[in-house]
Amino acid sequence: MSSSIKLAADGPATSQVGKNLAIVMLCMAVLGEMCLAADFYGFASVLSLVSSNLHLTESEAGLVQGAFGVSYALGMLFWAPQGRKMSSRTLYLIGLGGSGALMIAQSYANTFAELIILRLIIGFFDSAVWVGSMKIVMQWFSPKRQGLVMGIILGAYSLAITLDFALGLPYAMTHSWRAFFVALGVLTLAVTIIAQIVVRPGPYADPHDKIPGAGVFAAVFRSKWVWVAILGIFGDLFSIAACATWVIPAYIKTQGMNPAMAPMVGTIMGLSQIVFLLIGGYLSDKLTRPGMIKAGVILTLLSALLCVATTIWPMHMNMLLLVATLCGVGVFSGGAIFSLIGEKYGSDLGPSAAGYAEMGGVLATFVAPALMGALLTATHSFAVAFWSFVVVQILVLIALFVLLRPGSAQTAH
């Protein structure tokens, strides 16, 4: 890796051994996030296969996928404060171990009730993985390095989702969706075992006695920075959820795209997210993070306007692929958001703050498809639906400018 991009932490970890350990910890965080994302979206990738086999209605299938998000958000409320007293290794043991075992159990589900109960429990366990990954980042990397590191981790998350569809779906079509869930469960358990051997506290670990456990929530939300992060994540994930759900149907309906092109468009959107995350993460270590967050929303607003344009004017397929590529800019500020949390809250409260902030993204994954779907049902117009995408980004941008204006209340941890 280029010497100009130093992943290892400064200060306590400047020795070659410290740098090597930091890179190993980064690899573990990458694996943990890939397992989290693969388990999260694995069901979505084989939704049609499961629905056909178990005779689920569209609403039942949607509830099963949505159940994960609900328990994932509730899990954040539990693990964000409780996980502060645990090591990353313990959080990975609980989170990855529990979700891996339950993914295997999910392969034996035969009814809607069994599926939704298992998805609810898996979501709760998987939320512990996110807090564990944040502890690794904030304990092993100094704040000025965390932007690129978070870009890499979030890029791995996007890559895992892409692989669910690019590799997981074909595997499930060949061997069955049950075999796919078993494979995901076994891989997750394998990472659990590796984590127990490899993961350890980093040089930036703070003692966990600064703030009583009951005061964690108040301490995090006393500062404006968690609200900045919630807004940023909401805007990012609203964009990703809106594009992932409705861009391909819009292309087919308004541009007459051949449905056979759908996998290519979806893969391009997924891969572009990884590229934008890495670029944004690198730049967030060089520029101001609040500025990067605002820039990310502005770029996302421009991509939303391009999506609207595809619903109004006929376009060549190459132009449609370009717009699909630019849809990935929605995650441009992801690294800046979470590295800002680490910078403002430190390694003691930072993982808890990141857990609370992530709930903004979970909310967006529900609001975006539901809002745009409701508008489509009411108006039968993709243009109207995508204008709501534009309006949401404008509102997020205005709120961020208000929060980040000079002289605004700025209680720092």
pLDDT digits (tens, 9 = 90+) for 402-413: 888 776 555 444
C-alpha to C-alpha distance for 20 and 303, rounded to whole angstroms: 39
C-alpha to C-alpha distance for 141 and 144, rounded to whole angstroms: 8
C-alpha to C-alpha distance for 197 and 186, rounded to whole angstroms: 17
Predicted confidence (pLDDT) at residue 336 exceeds the cutoff of 50: yes
CA angle 153/248/299 to nearest 5° reads 50
Ramachandran angles phi, psi of 176, nearest 5°: 105, 150
Query: Which of 55-64, 182-191, 216-225, 389-398 has the lowest average pLDDT?
Result: 55-64
* pLDDT for 208: 47
C-alpha to C-alpha distance for 95 and 32, rounded to whole angstroms: 9
CA angle 310/314/316 to nearest 5° reads 90
C-alpha to C-alpha distance for 245 and 66, rounded to whole angstroms: 13
62: confidence class by pLDDT, cuts 50, 70, 90: low
pTM: 0.74
C-alpha to C-alpha distance for 310 and 386, rounded to whole angstroms: 10
CATH homologous superfamily of 219-403 equals MFS general substrate transporter like domains (1.20.1250.20)
205: confidence class by pLDDT, cuts 50, 70, 90: low
245: confidence class by pLDDT, cuts 50, 70, 90: confident
Mean pLDDT for all residues in the chain: 82
Terminal C-alpha separation, the chain: 34
Can you spell out the DSSP letters for 64-84? HHHHHHHHHHHHHHHHHHHGG
80-113, pLDDT tens digit by residue?
A: 777 777 888 999 999 999 999 999 999 999 988 9
- Is 221 in contact with 351 (CB distance < 8 Å)? no
Q: In the chain, count of helices (H) and strands (E)?
A: 15, 0
Residue with more model confidence, 151 or 317: 317
Taking alpha carbons only, the member of 131, 118, 122 closest to residue 90 is 131
Predicted confidence (pLDDT) at residue 11 exceeds the cutoff of 50: no
CATH homologous superfamily of 10-199 equals MFS general substrate transporter like domains (1.20.1250.20)
C-alpha to C-alpha distance for 236 and 249, rounded to whole angstroms: 21
124-165, pLDDT tens digit by residue?
A: 999 899 888 888 888 888 777 777 787 888 788 878 878 887
- Is 64 in contact with 112 (CB distance < 8 Å)? yes
Query: Which of 189-193, 254-258, 314-318, 344-348 has the lowest average pLDDT?
Result: 344-348
Can you spell out the DSSP letters for 20-64? HHHHHHHHHHHHHHHHHHHHHHHHHHTHHHHHHHHT--HHHHHHH
- Is 223 in contact with 413 (CB distance < 8 Å)? yes
If you search the block for the tokens 């989702």, which residue do you land on?
161
C-alpha to C-alpha distance for 26 and 35, rounded to whole angstroms: 14
Domain range summary for the chain, segments of one domain joined by +: 10-199, 219-403
For residue 168, what is the DSSP state? I
Same fold flag, 10-199 and 219-403: yes
- Is 382 in contact with 376 (CB distance < 8 Å)? yes
280: confidence class by pLDDT, cuts 50, 70, 90: confident
**Positive or negative: CA dihedral 18, 281, 229, 343:** positive
Alpha carbon of 361 to those of 151, 184, 233: distances in Å? 16, 24, 5
If you search the block for the tokens 């996302």, which residue do you land on?
300
* pLDDT for 7: 46
For residue 206, what is the DSSP state? P
194: confidence class by pLDDT, cuts 50, 70, 90: very high
* pLDDT for 396: 92
C-alpha to C-alpha distance for 20 and 31, rounded to whole angstroms: 17
Output b/e per residue, 112-131; b: 16+ Cβ within 10 A: beebbbbbbbbbbbbbbbbb
Longest CA–CA span in the chain (Å) reads 62
Query: Which of 7-16, 362-371, 372-381 has the lowest average pLDDT?
Result: 7-16
C-alpha to C-alpha distance for 25 and 204, rounded to whole angstroms: 13
